[in-house]
Structure 1
Amino acid sequence: MEISCAYLYIISRYGYPPPVQDTIAHIKEMAELGFSALELEAIGKKNIEYLFENKEVVKDALTQYSCSVPVFCVVLPRLGADLAEGEQAECLGLFEMGCQTARFFGAKGVLDNGPLLPLDYPSDMPVMRHYSGAQVSGLHLPISLNWDTYWNKLTKTYRSACAIAAKYGLDYHLHPCEGCLTATTDSFLYFSQAVNAPNLMFNLDTSNQFLVRDNLSLSLIRLKDRISYIHISDNSGQKTEHLPPGKGQIDWDAFFSVLKEISYKGRIAIDVGGSETVIENIEKAYHESVSWLNKRIEYYLEPA
């Protein structure tokens, strides 16, 4: 099983969002770290347009460093917002641009966070990897919110996005995190049933799921047909953090035993770091995580 390098490695080194114009240098860094499969990420309108316009140069760099991009991240926090028709069309147009770029790179899927909670967000609120409970605790639901109307519009939007992804032969992975509507197994199942698109997938993130007390083993069993991409990192259970596996409280023997039980054939990415996680040497953390993960893949998942 080929291990991927999640884009959190680059985010850990250069902040969020990292400079998109340095994408070639980022590819080189991840390749020199020892990865041949890696994530790239287009965060918002300008970055999506930049990578689309420079996709040939980026693909040349991927070829030069013998790298592939199995999953391409297309980050559009406003995709699930209650937008006017024209703004929604623009958002879906940017999503399609991201899908075109993903297909050009040879990706099998695109990934974004789940839809944000329908709150009144300040117009100057920065785009973040995820919004913590503290960051959204002072925000309120719009007085005009009609849940049925909102829900029908939201699921229709994501049905359209899934259809766009399918047009390019891509799965659409939703990443669970604090502050989104699909932060747990139950919430994703509820949402996916309403969207009713076969290519809508769940990007299981072990750290984020553990933090919200989602049973990882049960999540794997319940979502085995909806999971083909896993982010691996550890967590203490006390706060948002992405620790090297084995440095937190996750029961990894149970996790990998269930992966074996469900005959998991998807991909796994090392997703360690971030500004919320204190790691003195990020390169060492990734090397050690790969070694740790390879041993478990060999023991649990590789045929004898």
Structure 2
Amino acid sequence: MKFGASSWPFQWDPPYEDAIKRVAGLGFKAIELIAWNKDYLKDYYTPAKIADLKSALNEAGIIISQFVSTPHDLSHPEKAKREAAVDHWKRTVEVGVALGAPLINMVSTHPFAMRDGQEIPRITTKPLVQTYTAKVPEGADWNKNYEDYVEAVRACAKACEDAGVIMTVEPHPGRYLANTDGALRLLEHVGSKAMGINFDPSHTFPVGDFPNISVYRLGKHIKHLHVSDNDGVTNVHWRPGMGKIDWKAMFKALKEVGYDGVVSIELEDVPGVSRGPNSTAPGVYRNVTATDEFVAETVAGMNYLKQICKDLDIRVE
């Protein structure tokens, strides 16, 4: 295994060269880069910028483990919107390949392209409200919508297969892929050898899955890991060891299924995290760039998990 980190908690919005240097300087071996939407793919990830980022990665001695972007309209009821979302993904693959990423990641989408904070309330508000519910479309054909989503995801997987990379889909509460069963179902329906799972226990734990059991069930489908902790009520992203996830049990399962990839620390809800002053993402912290307090949290999380790996005799690069 090797430990990595997501770039966005260090620097929510681009440019990302300084985030690459900071992550490498902390002893991480890998980093993830992101495009929050298709405009970033066009306006930020230009050929010149991609060359700059590759140079920054090489100079820092760190690899890019995943490139991330989520086309939210893959489940849209309108075919043209789904096709545009697939085009968004194809551009994501182009950028990811140019950056040298072996994995291209998307988060699963909601049914009917519903959005967090709009038709779907954010799960972080769940403990605060008397009624927690979703606004669903009237007269909707739910089976057809799932079939349309599968078809769109299959097209995305084909783009990755053609490019020689792996697509990783990430579970998220309330979405078509919200838990382990949803992941296995989507994998079966899409049926692509170029598709795997970016397993994030902070997303599956609050919907009722035990992370160690999820690892045993998903097995070789797990191609990449996001790690953060929470209390199982919402999907907040705390430092490992600060919530209720049994990390030793999960890493024991990872060892037994033969996982030897990147463990990417993604702490989005700890003091000092970067969100950007204009970010619409939830969270109580608003820093343009992550502070030293955040760095301390991240390093503590990595060391906590490295000790577990040592206790379990798991080799860490």
**Bucket of the pairwise TM-score, normalised by the shorter protein:** 0.7 to 0.9
Structure 1 residue 206, shift from structure 2 partner? 1.8
Per-residue CA deviations over 1:161-195 (Å, capped at 9, x if unaligned) read 00001111221111112231111001111222111
Structure 1 residue 114, shift from structure 2 partner? 0.7
Match of 1:188 in 2: 183
Q: Does 1:41 align with 2:34?
A: yes
Question: How has the CA–CA distance of structure 1 residues 137 and 296 changed in structure 2, closer, same or farther, with 3 Å as cutoff?
Answer: same
Question: How has the CA–CA distance of structure 1 residues 26 and 190 changed in structure 2, closer, same or farther, with 3 Å as cutoff?
Answer: same
Q: Does 1:4 align with 2:7?
A: no
Identity across aligned pairs (percent)? 21
Whole-Å separation in 1 of the counterparts to 2:136 and 2:113:
5
Structure 2: gaps of 5 or more residues: 270-281, 286-290
Whole-Å separation in 1 of the counterparts to 2:227 and 2:233:
17
RMSD of aligned C-alpha atoms? 2.9
Equivalent residue of 2:221, what SS?
coil
TM-score, scaled relative to structure 1: 0.86
How many residue pairs are counted as aligned between the two chains? 293
Q: Does 1:114 align with 2:123?
A: no
Equivalent residue of 1:38, what SS?
strand
Verify the 8 A CA contact 1:240 1:276 in the aligned structure 2: no
Equivalent residue of 1:167, what SS?
helix
Match of 1:227 in 2: 222
Verify the 8 A CA contact 1:30 1:38 in the aligned structure 2: yes
Q: Does 1:158 align with 2:153?
A: yes
Verify the 8 A CA contact 2:227 2:265 in the aligned structure 1: yes
Match of 2:299 in 1: 287
Whole-Å separation in 2 of the counterparts to 1:38 and 1:99:
17
Structure 1 residue 232, shift from structure 2 partner? 1.4
Alignment map for 1:1-304 (pairs within 5 Å)? 1-10=1-10, 18-20=12-14, 22-53=15-46, 54-85=49-80, 87-118=81-112, 131-132=122-123, 134=125, 137=132, 139-274=134-269, 276=283, 281-302=293-314
Whole-Å separation in 2 of the counterparts to 1:165 and 1:40:
17
Verify the 8 A CA contact 2:7 2:20 in the aligned structure 1: no
Question: How has the CA–CA distance of structure 1 residues 196 and 107 changed in structure 2, closer, same or farther, with 3 Å as cutoff?
Answer: same
Equivalent residue of 2:64, what SS?
coil
Match of 2:276 in 1: none
Which of structure 1's runs of 4+ aligned residues deviate more than 6 A? 277-280
Question: How has the CA–CA distance of structure 1 residues 303 and 46 changed in structure 2, closer, same or farther, with 3 Å as cutoff?
Answer: closer
Equivalent residue of 1:225, what SS?
helix
> Is the deviation greater in 74-83 or in 177-186?
74-83
Whole-Å separation in 1 of the counterparts to 2:60 and 2:315:
30
Whole-Å separation in 1 of the counterparts to 2:228 and 2:55:
30
Verify the 8 A CA contact 2:111 2:145 in the aligned structure 1: no
Question: How has the CA–CA distance of structure 1 residues 224 and 120 changed in structure 2, closer, same or farther, with 3 Å as cutoff?
Answer: closer
Structure 1: gaps of 5 or more residues: none
Structure 1 residue 48, shift from structure 2 partner? 1.5
Verify the 8 A CA contact 1:43 1:74 in the aligned structure 2: yes
Whole-Å separation in 2 of the counterparts to 1:165 and 1:3:
24
Structure 1 residue 8, shift from structure 2 partner? 4.5
Q: Which amino acid counterpart does residue 94 of structure 1 have in structure 2?
A: H
> Is the deviation greater in 184-193 or in 259-268?
259-268
Structure 1 residue 239, shift from structure 2 partner? 2.6
Structure 1 residue 302, shift from structure 2 partner? 2.9
Equivalent residue of 1:230, what SS?
strand
Structure 1 residue 139, shift from structure 2 partner? 4.1
Whole-Å separation in 2 of the counterparts to 1:175 and 1:161:
14
Per-residue CA deviations over 1:178-220 (Å, capped at 9, x if unaligned) read 2311110011112221111122212111222221120212111
Q: Which amino acid counterpart does residue 173 of structure 1 have in structure 2?
A: T
Whole-Å separation in 2 of the counterparts to 1:253 and 1:65:
31
Whole-Å separation in 2 of the counterparts to 1:106 and 1:40:
11
Structure 1 residue 230, shift from structure 2 partner? 1.2
TM-score, scaled relative to structure 2: 0.83
